Every structure is written in structure tokens, then in C-alpha cells.
A and B are shown apart, each in its own frame.
Chain A
Amino acid sequence: MPAKQQTSTSLDAVHFTSFLNGRQEPSWLTTQRREAWAAFEAADMPFWRRTSLKGFQFSDFSPASAQVTISWDGSDAGVVVLPLAEAIDQHPELVQKVLYSAIRSDRDKFAALNNAFVADGVFVYVPKNTTVEQPIHVQYAVPAAGAMVAVRTLALIEHHSSATIIEEYVSSDPNAPAMVLSGAEITLADEANVTFNSVQTLGAQVYNFGGQQLRLLGKDAHAEWVNLVIGAKTQNVRLEADLQGNGSNIEWNGLIYANRQQQLLVAPTLHHAGLNTEGQINFKTVVDDEAYAVFDGMVRIPKTGQGTNSDLRENALHLSKNSRSDSIPGLEIDANEVKAGHGSTSGQLDEEQLFYLLSRGLPPVEAKRMIVLGFVGEIIDLLADEDLRDQIEALVAAKI
């Protein structure tokens, strides 16, 4: 168990030493943690143009454990689905292949802190030629006010294998302030296949800083990725799909739904390093009240990425005058034989759609709810779990 330091009022070396002393881990991991802590101490507070950290103080938070609930009914031979600490203990060499593969301690102060304290999470290993039918569902619950949790979803999917992984971030107390350092690092070998759903419905006083990466290392690897960003007070999360394997491809959909004073940012990057890779990014954004949402997307096609087929779309819906959204779709292309498109739209509720529904007797509030749910439903419908779909739909319906 990681040490809990709920009583302390500032995040300092004492916390880290105490955390480290409570753990018996392989030396490579301890070294990484120490380096990360040093990087955290050395780094300045990041300046993010589109994420305000006004009012944020590290001293408001102390390291704590997230409540991790892993549900999986499968029993496939050789498949590992374990809490992170147990996986480090039982399969250190497998964990080492994915942990820290995406989130770099030199990225910024939060990434460093994340790497120093990462303790809770799930580790999934799928050996060659194995189809895991049952979805692996993990829920991370932030336990209490003032908690700082560092969480990671790790997966290694070997040759010609597949799995579905659903991660959920929730707050036990919807009003408790907390800091979540989130992360996902997933690696796919040749012809491997993953469906990854990441659903964030944290409480209204939570900061969420993190990174997620799907590395499609193998040829013809395939990923379906759904990101739902609905909760938290402030989020700054970078996402990356790294298509290194020749012929690898990804379908990537996401939703940001921000209302009240939420400030939610996702920064997805689609990196077409391999030959003949394909990727589609399709994100939807809804902003209401005084909320601010940012989609900072990037498609990178280096010289090695000949034959790339890439498309990036973002559509934003504004439900109030005081809400804002920024969409920054970027393209960097260094290969010459590629197809790459991008586009973003932003608009208000469509008057003609509204009138059409009203003309059938729906009251205005219900008509509006139906149109918005339809707009977001195209993304929510992609979730791999029916109960979760219903739950998210109800959550969004309540926000409208």
C-alpha cells in the first residue's frame, strides 16, 4: 500500500521519501521515480496558454490511493489483468515494457510528479494469438478531499491478439477538491487489436493532468479509441496515437462536454510514422454556461509516413453566449504521398432542427435536450459497455 499523508499540508520531499520507503520495487523503477521527483522539484510551473492554473497550489493536495476496481470475467490462458502494484511484483519485466513509455518526466512538472508517484492502476498483458472477449473494466475513484492520486492504465497486447479496455475516472464525493495525475500507456504488437474507452466524469472541484498514448508498434495493428471528457474543474490531458507499425490504423472518437465553469482541454496527436497507416480523429465539443473547452489536435506525418491516410474532424456546439471553445487542428506533413484532411466547425443549436422537433409537439427544453443528446450520442454510442452508455447518457442529459 502506498503511504497516505492526508495530514500534511504541503507536497515536499518528505512525502516522496515516505512514499518510496513504503515500497519494495525493482531498482529500475525506484531510479525512475527518483529521477521523476528530481525533475518535479527542478521544473517551473508550466505556462499553458489555454489552461489556467490560477488558484492552483500543490500544497492543497497530499498523495493518496485511488480506489481501484477491476472487473473482468475472462479466464483466457496467459492473460494477465492485475492491479499495478501486484503486476510490478509478479511481472516486472512486462511492466517495464510499457510503464513510462509515453509520459516523460521532462515534459512538465505534472508529468514528473505523475511518474514519481504513479502507484494505482491496472496492468493488462495479452499473449500471442489470444482474443480476450470479455471487456476489462477498471474504475478509478478519487477517495477524499485534498487527495492527489497518480493512476495508470497499462497494457501490452502481443501479436495477433485483441482486448477491450474500459477505464473510468470518478470522484467518490462529487464536491471534493482533488488532483488527479492520470495516464494510459498501451502498446500493440503486429496485428494486435485494442478497443480503448477512457471516460472521465470526475467531480466539479478536481484538477486532471495527464497523458495517454496508444503505441501501434506492430504492422497492421488496429485500435479503436474513445475519449469522453465530462467531469473535472480543470483538465489538461495530452493524447497520442503513435502509428509506427506499417499498415497500422486507428479510429479515434471523442467528446468534451463542459458546462458551468469547467475548463477542459484535450490535445490529441496522431503520429503517422509507419508506411501506409490510416487514422481518423473525430471529436465533438459541447460548451454551455461559462465553460471553456479546447481541442488542440495535431496530425504529424514524418518522411517515413508515405501512403498515410489521415483525417481530423472536430465539431463544436455552443449552448450559451458566455461559453467558449477553441479548436486548433494542426497538420505537419513531411512525406509527399499522403492523403490528409482536417476540418472543424463550430455553431449554435440549429434553429431548423429545433423548429422541426417543436412542430411535432416537443416542448422547447426537451427538443433542445434531444438535439444535444443526438449530437453527443454519436460518440457515446461507441462505448463498448451498454450500462456505461446509459449512465453517461443520463449524466449528459442532466447537464443540458
Chain B
Amino acid sequence: MDANNLVIRNLHVAVDGKEILKGIDLTIEQGKIHAVMGPNGSGKSTLAYALAGHPRYEVTDGEVWYKGQDVLDLEPNERSKLGMFLAFQYPVAVAGVSVANFLRAALNAHRAQEGVDPKETAIPMAEYRKLIKQRMDMLNMAPDFARRYLNEGFSGGEKKRLEILQMAMLQPSIAILDETDSGLDIDALKIVAEGVNRVKEDRPELGVMVITHYQRLLNYIKPDIVHVLMNGQIVREGGPELALELEDRGYDFIREEVFGNAS
């Protein structure tokens, strides 16, 4: 097993006492793009939140390994420092906290080392300004974006671009994109997808899990492997052609094959 792969084994997750994920087995390989597709209510977002460590998502069984660490034992901030990144489907607004200040604090948290004065590891201001400008230029973002409050009054497209900017700044090794396409028109979707591709170009070892309901995002972020999530389990895996087949035929044919005609 390659320690740089994210390995999920028999993951069971409950929300408010109701089991949503019923034994997920999935490996996200270093440098590969994985699409996780599924109909509404199949557990896609639950998978994303559980991997990021949201307290409302209770892991009842299973394990998740990354870089030799039992991910489920780690706090959300420790998972981030380990190199995991979740691009939220619904990014949260935080009034009074500017994008620039927030990203600097996050970057410094990543650079912090135990037993070392944080002032020593903190990114120098000039270097930080240069870095954020370079990343914002890469994502075609206007400079005033950094001064705005985190997601406060942002359009859907702006929110998703901010998620990708955060990814570009924090340089994760595993990125989980939770329905990054939802609520975006085709132009916004192209911009966001291009941002993801640029971050990936910059960092070819990045492993990506693209969670989506629709195939259209996968026209712009090309997956190596497609997994189909249904009723809290991975029921089918295949190459990029599987996504196209789902686009053509919908999810019903898989549902029938896996669960029979009952539903």
C-alpha cells in the first residue's frame, strides 16, 4: 500500500443517529483524479464531511489512512496540516474576517511546528503578499477580493473560486471537491475548473476526489477513475467512459443492476 494514497476501508458514517455511509471502500491515489458520482441522497457530501472531520458526522466503523496516519484519530485542523483539503459545497461566510488575514493565519498554522516559536515559522509579510498576488493572478481574481470578508456577500461563483484560491495557497496533497459545480453557470464552472487544473499542473502529485452529481464538470476536470456511490456504498467503478454512460442513461440502470427493480 502506498502511504501517499488516501485509503478508506469499510467506512460507516451516521448523521443524527441515521446511517448514511454503509461501508465505503475507496482509494484516492497520489496524482490521480477520481470522480465520485451519485444521485441525490447517496451520501456524497457525507463522505466529504466525514473525511474532513465534521463533528456532526459520526464514524461508526471503518478506517481511513493517509501518510501512515489514522486520519479518523486526527482533529480537523490536523487533517488539514497532513495535506487534506475539502472544497466546501456551501462555503461558510465569516463576517469581519478578511480573506487575506484568514489565509495568512491558515498558512501560518500549516507552517507552525511544535516547540518552535510561531513567529519564527510565520511567513514574512512581503513574501505572503507576493504569494497571494501570484495565486490570485493565476486564478484571474481581482485584487480587492483579498480585502473582502470571507464569503460575506459573495456570489456562488465567487465562493467556489475562493475555495480554489485557498487550495492554491495551502498546497494540499489530497483535495476533495464537494459538488464544486453546484449552483454555477457554465462560465463560472469553466473558470473554477480551470483553477483546479492549474493547481494540479503546479503540483502533479496532487490526488483529487471530485464529488459531483453531473457529468458536465468532468468535461473540464478529466477523471482517471470514476466511482459510483449509491445508498452509502461504492457500487461501480470504471474509467472516464462510465461518467459518459451515466450522462446518457442516468443512475437508474445501475440501481436496477445492483439493487434490482424494487426501487
Contact = CB atoms under 8 A, between A and B. Distances in A.
Interface residues of B, number: 29
Contacts of A362: 77, 105-106, 109
A326 interface: no
Contact of B77 (A350, A358, A370, A374): A358
B112 to A, nearest CB: 8
A356 interface: yes
Interface string A363-376: 11011001101111
A292 B52 CA distance: 36
B97 A366 contact: no
Nearest to B93: A353
A359 B86 contact: yes
B76 interface: yes
B96 A376 contact: yes
Contacts of B96: 373-378, 381
A361 B97 contact: no
Given A370-B97, A371-B94, A376-B96, A359 B109 contact: no
B216 interface: no
B81 A361 contact: yes
B77 A375 contact: no
Given A355-B76, A366-B105, A361 B110 contact: yes
A352 interface: yes
B91 interface: yes
A358 B94 contact: no
B106 A361 contact: yes
A3 interface: no
A357 interface: yes
A357 B99 CA distance: 12
Nearest to B56: A351
Interface string B204-230: 000000000000000000000000000
A374 B97 contact: yes
A361 B110 CA distance: 6
Contacts of B79: 359
Contacts of B173: none
A360 interface: yes
Given A356-B88, A357-B102, A366-B105, A374 B52 contact: no
A374 B149 contact: yes
Contacts of B76: 355, 358-359
A357 B106 CA distance: 8
A353 B170 CA distance: 19
B97 A364 contact: no
Contacts of B106: 357, 360-362
A366 B109 contact: yes
Interface in A343-357: 350-353, 355-357
B45 to A, nearest CB: 13
Interface string B74-88: 011101110000101
A359 B97 contact: no
Contacts of A364: 75, 77
A362 B170 CA distance: 12
The winner among A355, A364, A381 for most chain B CB atoms within 10 A is A355
B55 interface: yes
B122 to A, nearest CB: 12
Contacts of A361: 77, 80-81, 106, 109-110, 170
Nearest to A352: B92
A359 B166 CA distance: 11
B222 to A, nearest CB: 26
A355 to B, nearest CB: 6
Given A360-B77, A364-B75, 17 more contacts: A351-B55, A355-B55, A355-B92, A356-B88, A356-B91, A357-B106, A358-B80, A359-B77, A360-B80, A360-B170, A361-B81, A371-B97, A373-B97, A374-B95, A374-B96, A375-B96, A378-B96
22 contacts: A350-B92, A351-B56, A352-B92, A355-B55, A356-B91, A357-B102, A358-B76, A359-B77, A359-B86, A360-B80, A360-B102, A360-B170, A361-B77, A361-B80, A361-B81, A361-B170, A363-B109, A364-B77, A370-B101, A373-B96, A375-B95, A378-B95
Interface of A: 350-353, 355-364, 366-367, 370-371, 373-378, 381
